[in-house]
Amino acid sequence: MTAHIPKVRPLVLVWASLIVLTGITSAVSKIDLGEWNVVVALIIAVTKASLVAWIFMGVRYTTTLTKLFVVAGLVWLGIMLLITASDYKSRNWTYQGQPWSQTKTVGGSH
């Protein structure tokens, strides 16, 4: 089996795409989308990770076993995100940002 040598053009296009996606991530972080902020950030992150793995890491030109392990890793990540999201959704709590800054000091000169 011979090693695949990538062309410069696809590498530059993927690099430019990663830069654009980073800019989009930054722009979206300033927009209040409510619960969708996390969803959009994860979609962009998965897209960027896929580009890096598929093109820069050369998964596209590897064996089927390597591709299987990449997919298995992504499935495991999805399972962990699903478990984390279900735990977060099942809790009945309200968020209080910086409660220490809203309390008054008793008997001190702070």
pLDDT digits (tens, 9 = 90+) for 24-46: 999 999 988 888 888 899 899 98
In eight-state DSSP terms, residue 99 is: G
Q: Which residue has the tokens 């296009």?
A: 13
pTM for this model (two decimals): 0.65
Domains of the chain, by residue range, sit at: 8-62
- What percentage of the chain carries pLDDT values higher than 90? 41
Rounded CA-CA distance 40/33 in Å is 9
